[in-house]
Amino acid sequence: MNKNFTGLFTALITPFNNDKSIDYISLEKLVTEQVKANVDGIVILGTTGESPVVDENESNEIIKVAVKIAKDKIKIIVGTGSNNTSQAIKKSIKAQELGADAILSVNPYYNKPPQEGMYQHFSQIADSVNIPTILYNIKGRTAINIETDTLVRLASHTNIIGVKEASGDLTQIMDVINNTPKDFFVLSGDDSLTLPLMSLGGHGVVSVISNIFPREMKNIVWQCFTNNFEVARQSHYRLLKFMNALLSVSSNPIPVKTILAYMEKIKEEFRLPLHALDNQKKKEI
């Protein structure tokens, strides 16, 4: 089992047809584009993939498309998180059966568990599969934070190999990097924090903007890995305003899907409760 999960991982959007069904033709093209751009992997069925509104059968088909095109070329990480531990386990086992290289498991949202509850939750999920588990810490969407002490405990689990850190708290991220084993991967969950996080010892990024600019983001990550931080910094600032716009104009993934539709790569379609931007906000991006 390959447990190297460093580099650029694109948080792939889920394209829809005008009737709100999944546009598998566009999905195949998007996955192929990411492979050709030489990203290190894709994350499907995550926040950017509108996973809350994708049903079980559709999820299975999306995984099958990704595996058909990208297996053994780039890593395929599948979002299988839930605030129901047994449901997360079921989804994780299915992702493994369908060929995922790893699973991404988000903080249990809405029910706000205590730290011990989260520790047991993630441990049981990791115990249920034989592929790596990556945690996803995003307090802004889940109302609960995986505290550093809990992350350190979880990092000792042989099947929990890293965390997508989207807390936005650089002090916390530094503590995580400093207190977890060197082979525990800390990936930025925010495009704009990729450069600072990697300069502090982080291992890459799960990126939204690489849906649009995969080669540019790959370059930033590569320059950081090779300690060319001046070159990485120049590239970072060229994209920074755009990175920020993808989050400030509206909730992810509305802006990035709007741009991909403008580029004629997908249709400008969302499933409720997400909704298209008004014309003024479209002009902003």
The one catalytic residue in 75, 91, 119, 164 is 164
- The 3-state DSSP class for residue 84 equals coil
Residue the block writes with tokens 């002090």: 171
Whether a cis peptide bond, with omega within 30° of 0, leads into 253 is yes
**For this structure, is 164 an active site residue?**
yes
Tell the burial category of 279 from Cβ atoms under 10 Å away from its Cβ (0-12, 13-18, 19+): exposed
Structure tokens that stand for 2 in this block: 């390959």
Q: Residue 138: CB partners within 8 Å, gap ≥ 6?
A: 47, 106, 107, 164, 166, 167, 189
Is 206 flagged in the annotation as binding? yes
Q: What is the DSSP letter of 18?
A: T
The one catalytic residue in 91, 136, 218, 257 is 136
**For this structure, is 136 an active site residue?**
yes
Q: What is the DSSP letter of 16?
A: B
Residue of 133, 138, 206, 207 lying closest to 169 (CA atoms): 138
Is 152 flagged in the annotation as binding? no
Residues flagged as binding site for pyruvate: 48, 206
Q: Tell me the binding residues.
A: 48, 206
> Active-site residue numbers?
136, 164
